[in-house]
A and B are shown apart, each in its own frame.
Chain A
Amino acid sequence: MPRVGLFIPCYIDQFYPQVGLASWRLLRRLGIEVEFPEEQTCCGQPMANSGCAECTRPLAEKFLRIFGKYDYVVAPSGSCVSMVRNHYAQWLSGREGFDHLRANTFELCEYLVDVARVSKIDGDFPCKVGLHMSCHGLRELRLARSSELMVKPFNKVRFLLGQLRGIEIVELTRPDECCGFGGTFAVNEEAVSCLMGRDRLADHERAGAEIITGFDTSCLMHLEGLIRREKKPLRVMHVAEILEQARLS
């Protein structure tokens, strides 16, 4: 049995604990003996995204210290995993265990499809769902084909959701346009960020979505902030929540 460490991003831990819990329960129910190391905090992305390389270093080192011992690391976040896989080398290159960590840190859906080889998820979810393909999972982890690339279409997240009975994944006019969260971009470029977010919501509304789901709660947090301010009849759920809730029903 491989040792699997669960990384719950800081903003999920603090603001969306149900996403963390759903990820934990989902993995356990699928027979994966996942552990939650208590010392974990944050991958360092907010600092890295702001260009503060030296402020990122201690967090990258901390991450390696905590998670280096696991066979696999799983996180319900595309952008945090991308941070480990695509950006940590700047601080950790050559460190003992880093190559292993980098090669074995996975986004949740990616882990279920590519590593755990989950081909069937039982459950009902009779809702109209809009799938938000967050950019880092899409273009940095290649969880799906991005609309710019002329390669064979695939979508690991859609594959998992598509297992559920009754689910209808609505077709968006722009299948993978950025929602405008972008980490610190959301506050640095508040005006453009919010317009981008509202445009995404409009696309999901037009397509008839009742729920917007995705694999990055950060994007969903931004969209939910707009939804709640404008009192729109939409709600957001992380993919893990949907997969977990559907199993219970």
Chain B
Amino acid sequence: MIGHAEKAAPFAANEKRAHWHDQALWFVRLKRDRQAESIPEWEELRQTASAIKAHTLSRIADYLEEFERNATNNRIQVHWACDAAEHNAIVHKILADRGITRLVKSKSMLTEECHLNPYLEARGIEVTDTDLGERIVQLRHEPPSHIVLPAIHLKKEDIGELFHKELGTQAGASDPKYLTEAARGHLRQKFMAAQAGLTGVNFAVAETGGFVVCTNEGNADMGTSLPRVHIACMGFEKLVPRSKDLAVFLRLLARSATGQPVTSYTTHFHGPVRGGELHIVIVDNGRSTILGQETFRRSLSCIRCGACMNTCPVFRRSGGYSYGYTIPGPIGSLLAPLRDPKNFASLPFASSLCGSCSDVCPVKIDLHHELYAFRQDMVRGKRVPLAKRLAMAGMSYVLAQTWAYRLAGGLMRGIVPRMPRALVYGPWNPWGRQRELPPMPRHSARGLIQRDLTQKGAK
């Protein structure tokens, strides 16, 4: 599989567009900062959220059983799926048994992970993503490029063109208000015609047997209060023990995600719509394996706010698609190779390890430390090119012997300045493609310090 660097390079090469993307996301980061500043107990909230997640994961099986009991009492039908295939089959069966052919969906990264849409479409079900950003990328036959801002990679002109073709808006029109209004009309028809609604789950509560879905657009509410059938899909890690835990996470989520104090709609489902049915599908799909890995289990605490993407200087300049996985950015660079180390071997290296992600993360996942640790796994698994591993071994040997280090350093400083420029700055020198090499001074620091000492002594 092509690595991150190869996919990032063309994105970064279009500097104007990359800067636009960078600015758009940085703007969200600044909005997040303003919201976080307004809460004096922000850091305490992060610490509490982190501890609640750690506790819940340590007793997750018990809490899931408690949730199942309480949800069942709330007339919610609970299903369990070991993997993506089982998840898709369960959703399809619920729909097929009821003769449902029109489904509206609100945002669910889990169903993206499971590739539910193509599965259902292949079986004759019309699936409409109803979050505006998701609808845009669906019409373009693309995956989302960001988990909270699915169409952040597109300019309004791109969307105007798309809507002109797909929804019949005026040619050349690109006013966001106009385009949103067109999408509203188009999607209202879809809501009115839908026979079932599917949502993700932001948080499920063991003690109450219910769950919470957050949206700004109200699409999850439209999609779950008009049709009779509501299916909610969740990874087991979405569970929290108590309803009071929701306060901790809801205070952090929207502020971290988009810099809003809370989403427009924070909807609590504790039973089906009048005369309808409510299903919840609890999915593992590799998560239980991650739970068993001490170094990486904290990645399961993720609440999918996307703050690590907005703050990541690499993501902002390489775009979501450069990661090649449903969830991009720092958290995706862990989750993707945890699932498939062979194909995503480059992702732990797609980071300057600046640590901004870890400091911004509302649940304090030590993202950059996990990425650092993951690199060792990749080397141990021989998923890093042999040439690189050999180069490091050679470097280590030289650096471990003081004489060899001094000799190599002296030779380099003596020879490189005498070499023809074309030879130094050839295609084999990625450092020198856009940068000058550091100066090659005559003396090393140790030489200067020695001289300093000798002169002092002489005095």
Contacts and interface: CB of A to CB of B under 8 A. Distances in A.
Interface of A: 8, 10-21, 24-25, 36, 38-42, 44, 46-53, 55-56, 58-59, 62, 86-87, 135-136, 138-140, 146-151, 174, 176-178, 180-197, 199, 221-222, 224-226, 228-229
B351 A185 contact: yes
Given A36-B446, A192-B12, A224-B438, A41 B452 contact: no
A181 B452 contact: no
24 contacts: A16-B439, A17-B443, A18-B441, A24-B449, A41-B405, A42-B399, A42-B405, A50-B392, A51-B376, A53-B376, A55-B396, A135-B354, A135-B355, A139-B358, A148-B356, A148-B360, A150-B42, A150-B43, A176-B356, A188-B5, A190-B430, A192-B318, A194-B433, A229-B435
Contacts of B4: 189
B379 A53 contact: yes
B320 to A, nearest CB: 14
B448 A191 contact: no
A192 B353 contact: no
Contact of A191 (B13, B39, B42): B13
B139 interface: no
B352 A181 contact: yes
Nearest to B434: A194
B396 A146 contact: no
A180 to B, nearest CB: 6
B387 to A, nearest CB: 12
Contacts of B19: 199
Interface in B358-388: 358-360, 369, 372, 374-380, 384, 388
Contact of A146 (B359, B409, B431, B447): B359
A41 B446 contact: no
Nearest 3 interchain pairs by C-beta: A20-B445, A182-B352, A51-B375
Contacts of A177: 313, 356
B247 to A, nearest CB: 18
Contacts of A42: 399, 405
Contact of A178 (B313, B380, B393, B395): B313
Given A21-B448, A38-B402, A135-B352, 5 more contacts: A55-B392, A55-B396, A189-B349, A190-B433, A191-B8
Given A139-B356, A191-B8, A229-B435, A25 B409 contact: no
Nearest to B4: A189
B402 A41 contact: yes
B407 to A, nearest CB: 12
B449 to A, nearest CB: 5
B402 to A, nearest CB: 5
B436 A139 contact: no
Contacts of A87: 372
Contacts of A140: 355
A191 B9 contact: yes
A174 B19 CA distance: 14
A17 B355 contact: no
Contacts of A51: 348-349, 374-379, 384
B376 A135 contact: no
Contacts, number: 223
A21 B441 CA distance: 13
Contacts of B15: 195
A26 B22 CA distance: 40
Nearest to A9: B445
Majority DSSP secondary structure for residues of A touching B: helix
Contacts of A181: 352
Nearest to A15: B438
Contact of A49 (B5, B375, B448): B375
B436 A19 contact: no
Nearest to B40: A150
Contacts of A189: 4-5, 8, 314, 349-350, 352
B65 interface: no
A181 B314 CA distance: 11
A1 B351 CA distance: 42
Interface in B1-17: 4-5, 8-9, 12-13, 15
Given A149-B359, A187-B431, A190-B433, A25 B353 contact: no
B48 to A, nearest CB: 14
A25 B359 CA distance: 35
A86 B389 CA distance: 23
B92 interface: no
Interface in B393-408: 393, 395-396, 399-400, 402, 405
Contact of B439 (A15, A21, A86, A148): A15
Contacts of B40: 150
B37 A150 contact: yes
A161 to B, nearest CB: 22
Contacts of B437: 225
Contacts of B440: 15
A18 B354 contact: no
A84 B438 CA distance: 25
Given A225-B431, A225-B437, A182 B43 contact: no
Nearest to B448: A21
B412 interface: yes
B331 to A, nearest CB: 15
A25 B449 CA distance: 9
A59 B5 CA distance: 29
Contact of A21 (B375, B377, B449): B449
B33 interface: yes
Contacts of A195: 12, 15, 18, 317
A16 B438 contact: yes
B258 interface: no
Contacts of B413: 14
B80 interface: no
A20 B434 contact: no
B438 A52 contact: no
B265 interface: no
